Structure 1
Amino acid sequence: MSSKKTPKTSGAASKLANVPPDPMNSKRGVTSWKEAAQWLRARGIEDIECITPDLAGVPRGKMMPSSKFTSNTSLALPSAIYRHTISGDYPEETESFRYEARDSDLKLVPDLSTLSVVPWETDPTAQVICDVISADGAECPYTPRNVLKGVLNLYHERGWKPVVAPEIEFYLVAKNDDPDYPLHPPKGRSGRAILSGQGYSIAGINEFDELIDDIYHFSEKQGLEIDTLIHEEGPAQLEINLRHGDPIELADQVFMFKRTIREAAMKHGIYATFMAKPMQGQAGSAMHIHQSVVDINTGKNIFSNPDGSASREFFHFIGGQQKYVPSALVMLAPYVNSYRRLTPEMSCPVNNAWGYDNRTTAFRVPVSDANARRVENRLPSSDANPYLALAASLACGWLGMTKGVEPTAPTEDAANEGSIDLPRGLLEAVSLLEGEPHFEEVFGREFIGIYAGVKRGEFETFMQVISPWEREFLLLNV
């Protein structure tokens, strides 16, 4: 992925390249509690939000005065927040899904490298992403950030470091205060609702100039780097591409970007949604993940041999994606709505094929030079928790490389014709996650049990809702 452009530095800046940056000028992150206190004072920060993603990727945490934050205050959350569904319900216990008997506290440990301002707040406010540990100081193995860290540790033990670049699609929609009514695209600056079929349209982006300016402004204030922004095929569907880098840092950025985009949209009286399929008959929203792996010692892309040809690791990584991603799909497509996106002829792969520059395959190898050879996983939907989506995709590639899984031949033609080669619904995907024995070594048994239990609980909640389809076709006909 090194072929992507990097910011240029001036001559003066390059001479000072070895000088550590002044933490007081940092927009994102400090290295010590002393620097944190100075950073907060310099900006007149009054409150700080200590947040961490739950299983759905929703920010959970506590707000406190900045003076208390820097006074060695102990922060804690109940373990039950990692066992409730997206609707706030708590599923029944099963053999593999259990509640912690005392619902004891988990401790929040601020990652000071993520400290930044909250630019949409009227009072000076900062935010910091926290890791989660148990009362005895051990890492909690089932929290999303720790699940991803566990996968990265497996790479590190082999002398490897993954590099990723997410692409996040989302829709802008008119405000909707009644969930019984379908969503509609909002009106742009022209006063008219934008239509579909606006892929890469500059005019489509310009319809929402002021909102996009706020997205850029909010992002810049937080030290978040947008690579490009485009209009996608759906009406008022946009895509943000992030610069490639470390998986934890990029998952953090997606986590913060979702919040940032929602806040920017709300400021302009509309919603931003990361639902996989918010509007019937329109394209779904994906979170494509570009992936490569470098050698920790040399920094070289291990997907390429010294002569520039594709390496054995490259093909085994693809083989692992093909073999294991279908069983990990519930971490990439986590809701009932996610599987409405995974349908044929809707600009979305429904297979486990791979190919060179072939967007109909699940795993696409973009055109690049040898240093930037990478694999794009096109299956994840934008509703996925970014930490878990990255963990799942990278774990499947790791299994492929360590177990020598050979891929099929690359697909030359359209791969989306014929049958669907993936789980067709949420419960099938959950069963496949539980049934893959190699996943225990990469995700841990406790995480799999908790995640599967929450997903089954969400399905049962969904089954309590009577849909318009049922009222239309069953009411008077059966």
Structure 2
Amino acid sequence: MAKKKRSEKDVVEAPRGVTSLAEAKAWMAARGITEIECAVPDLAGVGRGKIMPVSKFLSGPTMNLPLSVFFQTISGDYPPYDDLVDSVVADSDLVMEPDFSTLAVVPWAQDPTAQLIHDAYHRDGRPVDLAPRQVLRNVVDLYAKKGWKAVVAPEIEFYLVEPNTDADYPLKPPIGRSGRPEIGRQSYSIQAVNEFDALFEDMYDYSEAQGLEIDTLIHEDGAAQMEINLLHGDPVTLADQVYLFKRTIREAALQHKIYATFMAKPIADEPGSAMHLHQSIVDGETGKNIFSDADGDPTPEFFSFIAGQQRYLPAVMSILAPYVNSYRRLTRDSMAPINVQWGYDNRTAGLRVPPSSPAARRVENRVPSSDANPYLVIAASLACGYLGLVEGLRPTEPLESDAKGLDFELPRGLLEAVAAMQYSEEITNVLGPSFVKTYTAVKQQEFDTFMRVISPWEREYLLLNV
């Protein structure tokens, strides 16, 4: 049956996404858009790009960015280029190609503004394999070649904190509408969420204007720590939504003179923030979950996917926990996992199988932290599951006890995690040698930058004692 062509009314009224430059022109004209933000997400998940008048964008010029945007560290430094990518000549340009399905308004902008996520290509037409969006697409394509489709649903935790303009001072919970900061932990408290009603109303309004599909909002364990759950769907689409949501909640918070932070461990005595990822695999033709058989029982593929996560998650830890701060979250006395044990509805394990119907059988990866790049987290986690499937791996027995009392099975720090990725031939083959080489070089450079900073702990305990 032929697909029904969208009417012009459907195009201009859609909150998000068009299929062509012509539709984009009509969509922007209907909203009086005067400027457009053209961005590609970098290794940290930060948007890099250009802002231009709509008239210039619609005239169809080729947009370029230096390839170095994919070599930049979170602090703005660069590792040495020399041995990273053979095709890099000085600081060559990449070509930005718009993905019109991502077109949306920027609801907090003063002037009518749109935003559009782009993909990165070399001048000869090759995709830039360092671009996180392309890394994820490559993993999705591996599943497609086997006749499978991945389905994911991210959960993102974050803190609201008082504005902090001096990095030497610790972060503090913000003042709510009661005029008081949150002191005790208020897990799942509706009243504690209501303290920031005005902020969250703006967040929902901004999200609706961009076509972002938020499932639920809850208060997490930490003081002024929240969690947003997104609806399940296509991996690239959901990574786009996490990328946009992070920016959305930061902007909504700033409107209320509050910071929203996705740091993994922003406050010393509070729990860390995670990006839990629910994952299932369906048959590409039938849409049926390959984790369940006709009788509703778990399949060998279900167990192989878990086993792949168990074996290979330590090798992608520098993606799941990308900064030195990320490892402060992963401690035995915290809510975060310290190993790759798995269990049915066991939140102490790194891998949890939530209660569900056979059609919704899935694996929740509880290891990633919320500071991670969503494109790379989803790509890395699915890559581990893919390797388990194609290698026919078998998992350990499901754990029924508390996993926190068991040994650490995950890297304890950034350099250990970087080494684990460098030494994994299987992960390198799936994610791409150029990407792995560049990504690990960036992480090493970030660690070198961190080591130039003397911490308060060192001044407190070493200054007069050693």
For residues 19 and 168 of structure 1, the distance between their equivalents in structure 2, rounded to whole angstroms, comes to: 36
* Counterpart code for 1:419: D
Aligned to 1:63: 51
2:408 to 420, 423, 429: 420
Deviation at 1:18, TM superposition (A): 6.7
Distance 1:339 1:94, change over 3 A: farther
Conservation of the 8 A alpha-carbon contact between 1:365 and 1:374: yes
Name the CA shift for 1:395/1:460 in 2 (closer, same or farther; >3 Å).
Answer: same
- Give the CA deviation at 1:297: 0.4
Closer, same or farther: CA 98–430 of 1 in aligned 2, 3 Å: farther
Structure 2 counterparts to residues 304-383 of structure 1, below 5 A: 304-383=292-371
Alignment-derived partner of residue 185 in structure 1: 173
Q: Deviations over 1:74-107 (max 9, x none)?
A: 1110011111110001123564577923211011
CA contact (8 A) 1:196 1:236 kept: no
Other structure's SS at 1:416 match: helix
- Contact 1:97–1:453, Cα closer than 8 Å, also in 2: no
Tell me, in whole angstroms, the C-alpha distance in 2 between the residues paired with 1:424 and 1:24: 50
1:112 matches 2:112: no
- Structure 1 residue 166 corresponds to structure 2 residue 171: no
Which residue number in structure 2 is paired with residue 236 of structure 1? 224
SS at match of 1:166: strand
1:403 aligns with 2:408: no
- Contact (CA 8 Å) 1:49, 1:126: kept in 2 or not? yes
Tell me how far 1:394 sits from its aligned partner.
Answer: 0.2
In structure 2, the CA distance between the partners of 1:98 and 1:281, relative to structure 1 (3 Å rule), is: farther
- Within 5 A, what are the aligned runs for 1:202-213? 202-213=190-201
Residue 386 (structure 1) aligns with = 374
Output one character per residue of 1:365-422: Cα deviation in whole Å (capped at 9) or x when no partner.
Answer: 0000100000000000000000000000000000000001110000011001143211
Count of residues in correspondence between the two structures: 462
* Whole-angstrom CA distance in 1 between matches of 2:184 and 2:53: 46
Moved more, 198-207 or 99-108: 99-108
Report the equivalent of 1:12. Answer: none
TM-score by length of 1: 0.95
CA drift of 1:281 comes to: 1.2
For structure 1, which runs of at least 5 residues remain unmatched after alignment? 1-16
Deviations 1:30-70 (A, max 9, x none): 01111110111111000000011010000110011111111
Deviations 1:266-318 (A, max 9, x none): 00001000000000011000000000000010000000011110011000000
AA aligned to 1:118 is V
CA contact (8 A) 2:421 2:428 kept: no
> What amino acid maps onto 2:369 in structure 1?
S
Q: Work out which of the residue numbers 28, 38, 46 in structure 1 matches 2:34.
A: 46
Determine if the alignment matches structure 1 residue 154 to structure 2 residue 142: yes
Give distance in 2, aligned partners of 1:34 and 1:74.
16
Alpha-carbon distance in structure 2 between the residues aligned to 1:117 and 1:95 = 40
Q: Decide whether the 8 Å contact of 1:277 with 1:285 is kept in 2.
A: yes
Checking the alignment, whether the CA contact within 8 Å between 1:227 and 1:242 is kept in structure 2 is yes
- Post-superposition offset of 1:141: 0.7
Seen in structure 2, the aligned counterparts of structure 1 residues 459 and 283 have a Cα distance that, compared at 3 Å, is: same
Aligned-partner Cα distance in 2 for 1:115–1:307: 42
Report what 1:4 is aligned to. none
Do 2:193 and 2:219's aligned partners in 1 also have CA atoms closer than 8 Å?
yes
Whole-Å separation in 1 of the counterparts to 2:448 and 2:200: 38
Question: C-alpha distance in 1, partners of 2:82/2:179?
Answer: 53
Secondary structure, aligned partner of 1:355: strand
**Counterpart of 1:8?**
none
Aligned partner of 1:273 among 247, 261, 279: 261
Match of 1:114, as an amino acid? T
Q: Give the whole-Å Cα distance in 1 for the aligned partners of 2:115 and 2:425.
A: 39
1:227 to 2:215 alignment? yes
Classify the secondary structure of the residue corresponding to 1:405: coil
Q: For 1:212, what is the secondary structure of its paired residue?
A: helix
Amino acid at match of 1:433: M
Give the superposed CA RMSD.
Answer: 1.3
Letter in 2 for 1:259: R
3-state SS of paired residue (1:101) = coil
Q: 2:14 is matched with which residue?
A: 26
Q: Decide which moves more: 195-204 or 36-45.
A: 195-204
3-state SS in 2 of match to 1:438 = helix
| Structure 1 SS opposite 2:95 | strand
Secondary structure of the 2:226 match is strand
Deviation sequence 1:9-48 (CA, Å, 0-9, x none) = xxxxxxxx97846111100000111111011111100000
CA distance in 2, matches of 1:134, 1:333: 29
CA distance in 2, matches of 1:426, 1:100: 26
CA 1:204–1:185 in structure 2 vs 1: closer, same or farther (change >3 Å)?
same
Determine if contact 1:93/1:99 at 8 Å carries over to the other structure: no
Question: For the residues of structure 1 that align with 2:58 and 2:89, how far apart are their CA atoms?
Answer: 32
Out of 258, 266, 276, which is 1:288 matched to? 276
Q: Which amino acid aligns with 2:133?
A: R
**What is the correspondence of 1:101-140 to structure 2 with a 5 Å cutoff?**
101-140=89-128
**For 1:434-449, what aligned pairs fall within 5 Å after superposition?**
434-449=422-437
* Aligned partner letter, 2:100: L
1:5 maps to what in 2? Answer: none
Aligned identity (percent) is 59
Q: Describe the SS at the equivalent of 2:40.
A: strand
Q: Please state if 1:451 is matched with 2:439.
A: yes
Q: Distance in 2 between matches of 1:93 and 1:162?
A: 34
Match of 1:431 among 412, 419, 423: 419
